[in-house]
Amino acid sequence: MRFGYSWAIGLMGLVSPAWAEGISGTYVGAGSNSAFLVQVVEATGGQLTGRYEQTVLSDGKLNSMNASISGSSDGRTVVLTIKPTELFSSSIIASGTLENSQLHLSGSGDGRTISLSLLKSEEAEYRRKIAILEIQARAIVAAKVEADQLAHVSELTNKLAKASVEANAQLSKFQPIEQRYRAISELMRGALARQQSIYGSGQAAVARSQVAFAIDQVAIEAEQLHTSVERANKDIGTQVEPLVKDAVAIKQQCQPNTPNKNRELQLACVKFSEAAQRFKSSMEALGRAFENAEQVWLSEHSKQQQIMHAADLASR
């Protein structure tokens, strides 16, 4: 009886496809924010060498890690040592199985853990997945920039509105100040008249000197009042200057023809424009109030200087 080789052919069915094809090749996998590549070459005795690469998207940035691979396989079970190229890094020990061109790996080391399911593919597929991650990264960065811009516009809008309210509240204080400048001039003028009506020497001379001293004291009050107004003007300028600078920059970003501006940011820009106009009007009104107060001061100060000079002459 002749025996054929049909039994040997039948035994081939017991060998897994992975064993038949060998483990050598490129394996690619991906998650929602990551991509992985394993390239291995099988040598005699099931020894493996190759490289590992991963790209992970985090907070709009792509972080890559490259590593060398060494290990072994019996055609189904795989044990790998993944050594990152980063300085002072430790190895990751991983193990898994190869089934129907799918490589499953899990392991840990160097403060990392991996759990991967990779499909035998081409490196071009890994690059394609990275390209997708790059698109996601740009979208995340753009969204973050837009969110930051929205927060900045809203914050500045609130600051401008607050500054407008505070400026308007200051306007009522200027009329009493101007009236006080004028009242001091009148007090000094009245005192000078009394001083000039005192004749003689001795106690009369002392009385004239006392009146002159009182005139000087009232004039000092006027000077102090003017100094406080100047200080307030300077303080307001210090507060307003950065707001104006910031508002000019935001105004450029809020131009109607700015591309890719979402609806929420558009509405925020409208509110900003309204607040900026009110702020401008309030600041202009406050500026005019300071100018008017300064003009009153200059006029009354000139009068007060003349009265002080006359009082000095009269006290001699």
Contact residues for 29 (Cβ-Cβ < 8 A; gap 6+): 35, 36, 116, 117, 118, 119
Please say if the pLDDT value at position 17 is more than 70.
no
- How far apart, in whole angstroms, are the C-alpha atoms of residue 316 and residue 313? 6
Q: Would you say residue 66 lies in a domain?
A: yes
Query: Are the C-beta atoms of 92 and 110 separated by less than 8 Å?
Result: yes
What average pLDDT does this structure show over 177-202? Answer: 94
pLDDT, tens digit, for every residue of 197-221? 999 888 999 999 999 999 999 999 9
Percent with pLDDT over 90 in the chain: 82
Residue-wise DSSP of 16-55: -HHHHH-S-EEEEEEETTEEEEEEEEE-GGGEEEEEEEEE
pLDDT, tens digit, for every residue of 102-116? 999 999 998 889 999
pLDDT, tens digit, for every residue of 257-299? 666 568 899 999 999 999 999 999 999 999 999 999 999 999 9
Q: Would you say residue 222 lies in a domain?
A: yes
Do 79 and 215 share a domain, yes or no? no
Please say if the pLDDT value at position 6 is more than 50.
no
- How far apart, in whole angstroms, are the C-alpha atoms of residue 306 and residue 185? 10
Do 113 and 146 share a domain, yes or no? no
| Containing structural domain, residue 102 | 6-121
Do 31 and 114 share a domain, yes or no? yes
Do 217 and 152 share a domain, yes or no? yes
| Of 89, 121, 153, the domain-final residue | 121
Query: Are the C-beta atoms of 40 and 24 separated by less than 8 Å?
Result: yes
What local confidence, expressed as pLDDT, does residue 15 receive?
Answer: 41
pLDDT, tens digit, for every residue of 51-85? 999 999 999 999 999 999 999 999 899 999 999 99
Total number of domains constituting the chain = 2
CA-CA distances (angstroms) from residue 196 to 193, 213, 312?
5, 14, 11
Do 285 and 191 share a domain, yes or no? yes
DSSP H or E segment with residue 191: helix 174-196
Q: Would you say residue 248 lies in a domain?
A: yes
Do 75 and 174 share a domain, yes or no? no
Do 259 and 173 share a domain, yes or no? yes
What local confidence, expressed as pLDDT, does residue 19 receive?
Answer: 42
CATH number at residue 117: 2.40.128
Q: Would you say residue 235 lies in a domain?
A: yes
Q: How many CB atoms lie within 10 A of CB 173?
A: 12
Q: Regarding beta strands 34-42 and 61-73, do their DSSP bridges make them parallel or antiparallel, or are they unpaired?
A: unpaired
Do 166 and 258 share a domain, yes or no? yes
Q: For all residues of the chain together, what is the average pLDDT? A: 90
CATH number at residue 272: 1.20.58
- How far apart, in whole angstroms, are the C-alpha atoms of residue 148 and residue 145? 5
Q: Would you say residue 126 lies in a domain?
A: no
What local confidence, expressed as pLDDT, does residue 316 receive?
Answer: 78
Do 193 and 227 share a domain, yes or no? yes
What average pLDDT does this structure show over 123-144? Answer: 96
Percent with pLDDT over 70 in the chain: 92
Please say if the pLDDT value at position 46 is more than 60.
yes
Q: Would you say residue 127 lies in a domain?
A: no
Q: Would you say residue 86 lies in a domain?
A: yes
Do 177 and 310 share a domain, yes or no? yes
What average pLDDT does this structure show over 28-51? Answer: 96
Q: Which of 163, 153, 129 is nearest to 54 (CA)?
A: 129
Do 175 and 38 share a domain, yes or no? no
Strand partners, 79: 72, 95
Q: Would you say residue 15 lies in a domain?
A: yes
Do 193 and 302 share a domain, yes or no? yes
pTM (predicted TM-score): 0.70
What average pLDDT does this structure show over 183-199? Answer: 94
What local confidence, expressed as pLDDT, does residue 10 receive?
Answer: 39
